Amino acid sequence: MRLQMNDVAESKLRLLKAAPYEIAGRGTFNGKIHAFRDAEKTFCGQTVEFCPGKVFSGTAQDVTCRICTRSMASQERYDEQREEWKQRAAQDEQRRELEHQRWWDVYSRTSNRRNGKRNAPLC
């Protein structure tokens, strides 16, 4: 068995190699390799039922269907974007908490002074 180091880093996908097709007068063409988005449909919306072929496991690099490739890339971008939004929301939350903490510190110091507790440390 040949070791494929590159495949170790790549996550495995379920792929569909469409059966070769023939165009009259132009010869036989290899079917495109599609990637499954879920149990039934590929990223370009094919199903094994309508696009018969061989289901096998491979990586994104094996995919030759341009629609699948593009669709996978935008899915990835979407995932990255969502991750970024999540991080940004967490940072905002942290900043708000910090600001509130700061405001509370100042508020409690000034109200202590107002209440005559002058020996409360100012910083």
Q: For residues 97, 100, 105 and 108, what is the CA-based torsion angle, rounded to 10 degrees?
A: -130
| 65 touching Zn ion, by CB under 5 A | yes
Give the binding range for Zn ion (CB under 5 A) out of 33-41, 49-57, 81-89, 111-119: 33-41
The contacts of residue 30 (CB under 8 Å, 6+ apart) are 20
| 13 touching Zn ion, by CB under 5 A | no
Q: Which is nearer to Zn ion, 7 or 62 (CB)?
A: 62
Minimum CB separation of residue 21 from Zn ion in Å reads: 14
Site for Zn ion (CB under 5 A): which residue of 44, 51, 69, 72? 44
Structure tokens at 115: 């209440």
Site for Zn ion (CB under 5 A): which residue of 51, 68, 69, 72? 68
CA within 13 Å, CB half, 86: 6
Beta carbons of 36 and 17 less than 8 angstroms apart: no
Where does this chain bind Zn ion (CB under 5 A)? 34, 42, 44, 65, 67-68
